[in-house]
Structure 1
Amino acid sequence: MTTAEYLGVPEPELAASGALHTAREIEQQPRMLAQTHALLSQLRERIEAFVGPVARDPAARIILTGAGTSAYIGQCLAPLLDRQLAARVDAVPTTDIVSCPRLYVDPDRPLLLVSFGRSGNSPESLAAVELAEALVPGVRHLLVTCNPDGALGRVAARQAMTLQLPEETHDASFAMTSSFSCMMYATLAALAGVEALDARIAAVADAMARVIADARPALQELALRGFDRVVYLGSGPFQGLAREACLKLGELSNGAVATCFDSPLGFRHGPKTFVTDRTLVVVFVSGDATTRRYDQDLVDELRQDGCAARVIEVTAHPRPQAARDTLAVPGMAAARDVELLWPYVAVAQLYAFFASRALGLSPDNPNVQGTVNRVVQGVRIHPLAD
């Protein structure tokens, strides 16, 4: 009988080291993307009827919201969706809505609140829905969740639609991986139109699968180098992705690796002092020709400085002169940046996974102290003051 492997490691070894859930959930993502697309295709008419009146209204607002990794879904998608839809699209974490509701929620504008929840049980997610209900007449809620038993999918709202994703996306690991990628895809399909993705889903899923398979050895080698600082940089939607990459590494290393994120242009304005001779810098390079020049300028500058231990460019447009320090995404040279989000995030997830194992931690539960939890604890929700 052949022993199953995930990320090149036999299943019994992963189970014994507390890494099985994380490895399986990273590797399953291309398949889960295809399933999510099929689900959204079946629901396309219902979704359009629910979100269309807000999305087509120039006076309306769409807020993409969640906490932690779920918040970064919104930060990746908001600038892209804001260009496509008539409504204004913003990414506002639930943690900001709950603490400063009147700063972020406008009672005088029609609102679609898009809430993300892997478990659907985060107290801020539930409180954000309740605050929007209290403050905005006629608010609509699109609830994107991975847990069929979560509270988010059962909220008491006047106008709500739940996108219940395949149960396998309800990651059992401490860190969100397939839940992030599939909730992000479902939201893009729901708001931009699933039919716009029909011709591209196979290429996106294939590119992600090839990165998971082909970039694995290089990322494992980098993780074994023991960098004590890692910088993730990206322009446009990739700045949100850089933030998610930092969180993933921070979670799976249990804080042992210091992280920093920024845009390539912004990095020169002070944050560049973070770089030492034990720092790995990873740049998510844009597919846009103009933006890519700025990204590559910063990559070349950092290499010429000679201060960082390694500078890696993740790109669909590999440069022959930088082959040693390039993680190439094959077959995506004509892709839009939104399509690169999925293969690019696989790089960050893989590096965090291998870094966790190199540190002797269990990726499925790296924080043995229990100071942070899979579903946040210790949050006290206060009533809305007059």
Structure 2
Amino acid sequence: MLQLAPEVLKAGKAIYTATEIFQQPEVWKELKQTLSGRQVQWQDFWESVCKQHDQVRVIFTGAGTSAFAGDLLVPHLRKQNRRNILFEAVPTTDIVSNPAECFIKEIPTVLVSLARSGNSPESVATVALGRQRVDHFYQVVITCNKDGQLARDARGDEKSIIFLMPEKAHDQGFAMTSSFTAMMLTARFLFAEKPFDRQHFEKITACAEKWIDRIPPVIDDILQFDFQRIVYLGSGLLGQLSHEAALKMLELTAGNVVAIHESSLGFRHGPKSVLNSQSLVVLFMSQQSYTRKYDMDMLRELARDNSGAKVAVLSEKADEETGKLADWLIPVHSDRDTLDDDFLLALFYIIFAQTLALKKSLQLGITPDNPSPDGRVNRVVKGVTIYPFP
């Protein structure tokens, strides 16, 4: 599994994390069956909301990785949806501390709560604040934990609907991996104008299975370079994905690797000063021809840079110029297959980032399943005080 022997995973306390990365295509298949079986129920709920209101505000929310899923979804859904739906992403950590800035009383609002455990204090408080401050408030709970507080509170509420992820997606490791991609796919299935058909989805999962088998040797080669800093770059929604990729490295290495993220264009505006001879840059290349021009400009600039940093490029397909400029070029496809958009590429790119973080953690002698045994950070956040809002 991920070219890591069982005894290595056991000794390194990495079995949960490795399994949860590797199993993702299988989780997606199970998820698709579950969602297909509830399509009519969802359409009834969603159409009922849309028919009652001239305009609907949909807020994707969560904390940490769950929030980043919303950040990534919004650009994709805004591009697809032509109706009177306003898609936004606001972290629960922002809503709880500033509810008056986030909720608008007169605008009908659907809060899409993305949550692995469903027990984070901010997630539960966000729902309570929404009900308190919005006249017409609805909730979609996308969670991995049927026994979590979010799911329990939503049961029996006619203005709420719950979507449970496959049990395998309820990650037992510290870092969110299967849960992240499962919740992203669920939200896309629910809100996209054109959900995946069966043939298309089977093609995606088959490609992902090949991808998971192909990337470990490349990652092992990258790890021969002893980087102590990593920068993830991307444009559009792939720029949002870079936030989650950087967090995976930071979490699984317990902060021993400095991990930052930025957009391809934004990197020049100060953050580029982080580069030195112990830096690795990972560029998530867009498959959109216009956007890709900006990614390529950054790659050319990095290739000319004299900092000593190394560059790995993830791309839908290989091309000659990219291959010459990058230290590593990792194409998703080695054949004539294509992916429709950057959202689908994001599913593949994040598996690479998850695997790289796992293997770097093991290389450093850290335990990926629990990289913070001293309790400085926890799988479900602790120490949060929720104050009453007048």
Give the TM-score category using the shorter length. over 0.9
Query: How far apart are residue 224 of structure 1 and its match?
Result: 4.0
Select which of 57, 61, 68 maps to 1:65.
Answer: 61
Task: Please state if 1:98 is matched with 2:101.
Answer: no
Moved more, 338-347 or 203-212: 203-212
Distance in 2 between the 1:94 and 1:251 partners?
A: 20
Task: Please state if 1:34 is matched with 2:29.
Answer: yes
Aligned residue in 1 for 2:184: 184
Aligned residue in 1 for 2:378: 373
Distance in 2 between the 1:363 and 1:356 partners?
A: 6
Q: Tell me, which stretches of 5 or more residues in structure 2 are unaligned?
A: none
Query: How far apart are residue 368 of structure 1 and its match?
Result: 1.8
- CA distance 1:280–1:44, shift in 2 (3 Å): same
Aligned residue in 2 for 1:326: 329
Query: How far apart are residue 8 of structure 1 and its match?
Result: 1.7
- CA distance 1:37–1:358, shift in 2 (3 Å): same
Which amino acid letter does the alignment assign opposite residue 18 of structure 1?
A: K
Aligned residue in 2 for 1:301: 301
SS in 2 for 1:50: helix
Distance in 2 between the 1:244 and 1:55 partners?
A: 32
Distance in 1 between the 2:193 and 2:149 partners?
A: 27
Distance in 1 between the 2:221 and 2:46 partners?
A: 45
Q: How does 1:186-205 map to 2 (within 5 A)?
A: 186-192=186-192, 195-205=195-205
Matched-pair contact (CA < 8 Å) for 1:253–1:361: yes
Moved more, 144-153 or 171-180: 144-153
Distance in 1 between the 2:231 and 2:62 partners?
A: 24
Aligned residue in 2 for 1:19: 14
Distance in 2 between the 1:55 and 1:345 partners?
A: 33
Query: How far apart are residue 356 of structure 1 and its match?
Result: 0.3
Distance in 1 between the 2:22 and 2:191 partners?
A: 27
Aligned residue in 2 for 1:3: none
Distance in 1 between the 2:60 and 2:389 partners?
A: 21
State the TM-score, normalizing by the size of structure 1: 0.94
Matched-pair contact (CA < 8 Å) for 1:143–1:161: yes
Aligned residue in 1 for 2:45: 50
Query: How far apart are residue 11 of structure 1 and its match?
Result: 2.3
Matched-pair contact (CA < 8 Å) for 2:80–2:193: no
Query: How far apart are residue 292 of structure 1 and its match?
Result: 0.7
SS in 1 for 2:175: coil
Matched-pair contact (CA < 8 Å) for 1:211–1:343: yes
State the TM-score, normalizing by the size of structure 2: 0.93
Query: How far apart are residue 311 of structure 1 and its match?
Result: 0.9
Distance in 1 between the 2:181 and 2:215 partners?
A: 18
Query: How far apart are residue 222 of structure 1 and its match?
Result: 1.7
Aligned residue in 2 for 1:220: 220
Query: How far apart are residue 9 of structure 1 and its match?
Result: 1.9
Moved more, 161-170 or 297-306: 297-306
Which amino acid letter does the alignment assign opposite residue 331 of structure 2?
A: A
Distance in 2 between the 1:111 and 1:227 partners?
A: 45
Which amino acid letter does the alignment assign opposite residue 142 of structure 1?
A: V
Distance in 2 between the 1:196 and 1:58 partners?
A: 27
Q: How does 1:139-150 map to 2 (within 5 A)?
A: 139-150=137-148
Distance in 1 between the 2:47 and 2:287 partners?
A: 29
Moved more, 298-307 or 192-201: 192-201
Query: How far apart are residue 196 of structure 1 and its match?
Result: 3.7
Task: Please state if 1:339 is matched with 2:335.
Answer: no
Matched-pair contact (CA < 8 Å) for 1:44–1:194: no
Which amino acid letter does the alignment assign opposite residue 328 of structure 2?
A: D
Query: How far apart are residue 146 of structure 1 and its match?
Result: 0.6
Query: How far apart are residue 223 of structure 1 and its match?
Result: 2.7
SS in 1 for 2:381: coil
Moved more, 258-267 or 6-15: 6-15
Query: How far apart are residue 334 of structure 1 and its match?
Result: 4.5
Aligned residues: 380
Task: Please state if 1:10 is matched with 2:10.
Answer: no
Query: How far apart are residue 194 of structure 1 and its match?
Result: 6.7
